[in-house]
Structure 1
C-alpha cells in the first residue's frame, strides 16, 4: 500500500488546494477569504449561473442581454391563397383624361385650362340661343360637359314668369321697374333689360356645370 500523503497544515482551507474542505470553510467562523475580489454566493443556483455564464461580472450579476426584436406578425398564405394579379387597366378619371387631349378643339380647351384663360361659352335652350357666360375652366370631357368657376352669366328668360319687385308681386315686369334684383339660391339675379317677350338677366355664380348638349360655341375671351 502506498503511504498516505501528508497534508499540509491549513491546506484544507485553501481554495486552490486539492485538500480544500468546503464544509470546514463554511462553518469555520475564523475562515477568511484571501481574495478580496471574490464573490460570495447565497445559493448553489447562483454559483452554477455564475460559472456557466462567461459574460457575467465578478459581482455575481449577469450583464443585461439585449431585448430580442419583436417578431413581425404577418399572415402566411399558401401559394394557392395568394392574390391573383389581374391585367386590369388603371382607371382614368376626368382630370387625368384632360391631359391626353393634345390636338383639335379639345386640345385647345386643355391649353386654356392649364393657362387659366377666361373663356366665353354660348348656350342654348330648346329652340333658341339662351345666352352666354364667361369663366375659367375647371374640368371638361369629350362630351363637352364643362365645369366653370368664377362665372358671369348673361341669359334671356320669358317675361311671363312671376317675379318680386319691392314688396309687391307682379306677373310681368315693366321697363319702368328696371333694374330688379332678386336672390335665387346663393346668387343675386339682376334683370337689366326687356326685349320683346324676354327679359335679359345677369348673375355671378362661383361655380357652374354646363351640359355638353347645351353648349353652342366656345371662344377665348379677348
Structure 2
C-alpha cells in the first residue's frame, strides 16, 4: 500500500463517508475518520449471509445477537417437544383398541447365575451345595478309564455340567514300569512370562508300590468340562 492510504491528512470526510459520491473504500479501510451511518445496523459475515437474511430473517441471525440465538434454539426445542407429544398421543389413540389383546412379554436377563437358582432335577442338589459352600468329590475320566479325583468347592455350573471350581485338591495315579517319577498332567513350562503370572502348582508324589505313584497338587481355581466328569458326590469329612 502507498503511504497516502495510511495517512489521514490526505483523506477528506467525503472520501470516507459511505453516503458520499466520492466515497473511496480503500481509504475508508485505513482511515480513523470513518463513521458508521447507522450504528445499530446488523452485522453479517459476508454478502451471501446478508442476502439470506433478507429472505429468511428468522433463520439468519446477525453477528453479536446472542439472545436471538438462544431464543431460536428454545423455540426449536419447544416445537420438537410439542411434536413428540402430539405423535405419542396420536399413537395411543391409534392402538388403544388393541391394548388388551396382545400380552406384553417381559424379557429377563438369563445367564449361568440366574439359571442356577431355578434349575430342576439332579442339578438342583448341586445348586444347594453351591449356596452352602460345601466341598464335593468329583471323579474325572480320560479316554480309557478313570483319570483322577478332585476335592473342591463348586462356584458355578451350567446344564452341560461344566464346573467352575475353587480351592481344588487333585489326586491321580501314574504308573511307570521303569520306576521313574512321571510329571503331573498338564504341567506348564516353568520358564517364561506364564510362570511369573501364575506359578506352577507343585506336584507331590508318593510311591504305592509296583511302579505306581500317587500324585497330588493344589490349584486355586479350575474349570472342568462336563464331558470329563464321571461322578459328583458330597465330600464327607
TM-score (ref. length: structure 1): 0.49
Q: Which has the higher helix share?
A: 2
TM-score normalised by the chain length of structure 2: 0.46
Bigger Rg over Cα? 1
